[in-house]
Chains A and B, each alone.
Chain A
Amino acid sequence: MEWADEGVVLGVRRLGESSVILEVMTRAHGRHAGVVRGGRSGRMRPVLQPGNSVSLVWRARIEEQLGVFAVEGGQLRAARYMGSALALNLLGAAVALTRLLPERDPHADVHDALALLADHVADDAVGPGLLALFELSLLAELGFGLDLSRCVATGVTDHLAYVSPKSGCAVSAAAGEPWKDRLLPLPPFLSGALAAPPSPQDVLDALRVTGFFLARHVYGPRGMPAPDGRERVIAILQRLSGPSPQ
């Protein structure tokens, strides 16, 4: 068995003294693990940092085996965000969420969203919004996609201001007015209306929406908490903007 692909590094575990087990989100082969011989060497360590893009060749005798990766560095982004707590926690949250996907199940959209997030994670104005969009994409891939394209009550496609926690659909400002206390706020960028980088409050609102549905459909049934990195991202954004999401 052999294939070549590109991927974003999710993390490594030590294997013996000089090797590691690499976990990577590949474009065509999903979340995949494999042994990297010499992965703890000075040459390979900088390459195998989470968020870096790599070119991979995976080889195994049969498909069920863990297999061995031959890795070549692509976009080595890690050093660009090591100085930023927000960027590191954004990436940590995205990596933890990616691990919710089943292994070896292709999700090209998640790979692309993760690579885009890793590209811009050090940009404080763009990175947090990309995490919310990444979570939206992940919910869709897990089968719990939200319909934010039109109002669930009236069918209109503009002035969408809320998300129904019951249906996961958008609600327009007019239709949602009587129930606005029970609805989740929908920041414009989450439904695709991205004119400028979203404000920290918009991102907090977006993370409140995605966090609500992740808790209901993903964390709750699995009995697990939200990733620490996500909580720290919210704490940092709250410091920047003030009020907090649930």
Chain B
Amino acid sequence: MASSTGPELERLIQLLARLPGLGPRSARRAALHLIRKREALLAPLADAVRVVADRVVTCTACGNVDTSIPCAICQDPRRDPAVLIVVESVSDLWALERAAALNARYHVLGGVLSPLDGVGPDDLNLASLAERAADPAVAEVIIALNATVDGQTTAHFITDMLQHLPVKVTRLAHGVPVGGELDYLDEGTLVAAIRQRTTL
């Protein structure tokens, strides 16, 4: 079937369709929307994409993505240097930052141990984690990994790896989410919640 758009537009639509959450149909809608809002959206977006493409780097200290090394979080003097939060990916870091529960520093592993996907300890940022945790200023390492078998296997591996260091190693609690109804929770989550119950 002949294309209804030129090759440049077709390429834009194809690239947009590769973004998470977008398919070919929604990519066409997004492309059309960008064209309609040419001055307000398309040009600024193009500029922003170019700047990020030129400047974005991975922080050599923590694994976060930013436009400077060290990243803004690692440079921030207001963050508590005694607490290091270990996360699987940058999206998890962003989620914890949105929650604003702790004003700490992070360490991005870049994945979790997964025999099925062939991910072993050498594929993760574990050596740099050991170096950072050995810093006398660090008193606690919080392992904020997913409550999955792979995530928790990685958490135990890290706990073993850091056991010779004088740091407290903790992990996130597992249990009932806010707004969760017991009747709809899986048995495993209920078991975890019962085991980690707290005194009122």
Contacts and interface: CB of A to CB of B under 8 A. Distances in A.
Contact of B156 (A10, A79, A85, A227): A85
B153 A92 contact: yes
Nearest to B171: A83
* A interface SS class: mixed
Contacts of A30: none
Interface in B146-200: 147-149, 152-153, 156-157, 159-160, 174, 186-189, 191-192, 195
- Give the most central of B113, B149, B159, B195: most A CB within 10 Å: B149
A67 interface: no
A77 B188 contact: yes
Contact of B186 (A50, A76, A95, A232): A76
A172 B115 CA distance: 39
Interface string B86-121: 000000000000000000000000000111110011
A46 B149 contact: no
A176 interface: no
A92 B149 CA distance: 9
A10 B153 CA distance: 14
B148 A51 contact: no
Given A79-B189, A85-B159, A91 B149 contact: yes
B130 to A, nearest CB: 17
A78 B148 CA distance: 8
A92 B115 contact: yes
Contact of A13 (B117, B159, B174, B186): B117
Interface residues of B, number: 26
B191 A80 contact: yes
B21 interface: yes
Interface residues of A, number: 32
Nearest to B21: A17
- Give the most central of A23, A73, A88, A228: most B CB within 10 Å: A88
B113 to A, nearest CB: 8
Contact of A229 (B21, B115, B188): B115
A88 B148 contact: no
A51 B147 CA distance: 14
Contacts of A92: 115, 149, 153
A96 interface: yes
B21 A88 contact: no
A23 B116 contact: yes
Contact of A79 (B121, B160, B191): B191
Contacts of A91: 149
Interface of A: 10-13, 17, 23, 45-47, 49-52, 73, 76-80, 82-83, 85, 88-89, 91-92, 95-96, 227-229, 232
23 contacts: A13-B116, A17-B21, A46-B186, A46-B189, A49-B149, A49-B188, A50-B149, A51-B149, A76-B187, A77-B188, A78-B148, A78-B188, A79-B147, A79-B192, A80-B191, A82-B149, A82-B152, A83-B195, A85-B153, A89-B156, A92-B115, A92-B153, A229-B115
Instruction: Rank and list the top 10 A-B pairs by shortest CB-CB distance, nearest first.
Output: A79-B188, A85-B156, A11-B116, A46-B186, A82-B152, A79-B192, A76-B188, A88-B153, A50-B149, A76-B187
